[in-house]
Amino acid sequence: MRKLKLLLALVLMFAALPVQGAFASVGPGTVYIDFGSNGQDIANFKFTGTGTGTDLKFFDINGKLFFSTPVGSPMPLSGSFINAHSIYVMRYMQVTLNAGATLTNVSWTSSTGSTGNTTNISTTNPFLDPSPTPTATPTATPEPTVSPTPSPSPTATPEPTATVTPTPSATPVPTATPKPTATPEQPSSDRALLTVTFINGTEKEYDLPIAEVEAFVNWYDARDAGRGPGSFAIDKHTNNKGPFKKRKDYVVFDKILTFEVSEYTTT
């Protein structure tokens, strides 16, 4: 299948090659043994671990695959192997650890007789996986300055129209007495603007005594907890126009998106 063939001969050796540094245990799954950006001259090597692995692959310093074992062929992770190929410099190895297997160290002897080892074994491909780009810290958005809601000015009571006395004549004409203008309802000292926004985008505002606003809030909280009626009647008070004794808006709980309460005190 390849012009160049690498012979891996398992040699059951129990004399350990020189080991330097701390061990790092990795497994199971696909792992990568990193020999550094310049690679290493490796004539034979030894796995230190437990269990078995498959699909051993060798990559040169350009990240190119130049040898792989047959797919699915098991190999022990506790023995020594001979590299009988003319290509010795390896960038990294890739091996799949079977269930229950671990790999802690890879030691080697170079073609010149020098020795070394690495515990740089991880699940990250050292050649293909780029370093993560640091995430920029977003600039905090300044909070907008809230403009206070102006308190409404109380409606002035209109002055009554003076009655005109006609000049006497031979036959006095009776003067019609005008009906007095109704005095609008005076707000109590503690009041609030209740602004209700519905889910269809409609917004309604009510100028109410604070006690009626508190009754609305108590109803809303109770209904939100699953208690009470599904609607609430809001007295329109000074908005009562027409020949009606009283006018009320019935708001339905399920139709309310948000509401706002702006308290103020009249003097």
- Which tens digits make up the pLDDT trace of 198-242? 999 999 999 999 999 999 999 999 999 999 999 999 988 876 667
Token pair in block for residue 141: 């958005």
Give the pLDDT band of residue 23 (cuts 50, 70, 90): very low
Q: What share of the chain is helix, strand, coil (3-state, %, to 5)?
A: 10, 35, 55
Please indicate, yes or no, whether the overall pTM of this predicted structure exceeds 0.75. no
Chain segment 89-141, per-residue pLDDT in tens? 888 889 999 988 998 889 989 888 899 998 889 989 887 755 555 566 666 66
**If you average pLDDT over every residue of the chain, what do you get?**
76
Cis peptide before 154 (omega within 30 of 0): no
pLDDT greater at residue 61 or residue 18 = 61
Q: Where are the alpha helices (DSSP H) in 16-111?
A: none
Paired residues of 89 in beta bridges = 41
Residue 158: what pLDDT? Answer: 59
Name the nearest CA neighbour of 193 among 204, 180, 185, 178: 204
What's phi and psi for 134, nearest 5 deg?
-60, 140
Closest CA to 55 of 88, 77, 83: 77
Arithmetic mean of pLDDT, 64-75: 83
**DSSP summary character for residue 238:** G
Both tokens of residue 75?
A: 């190999």
Which residues have C-beta within 8 Å of that of residue 181, sequence separation ≥ 6? 158, 160
**How far is it, in rounded angstroms, from Cα 252 to Cα 249?**
10
Q: Hunting for tokens 């810290």 — which residue is that? A: 137
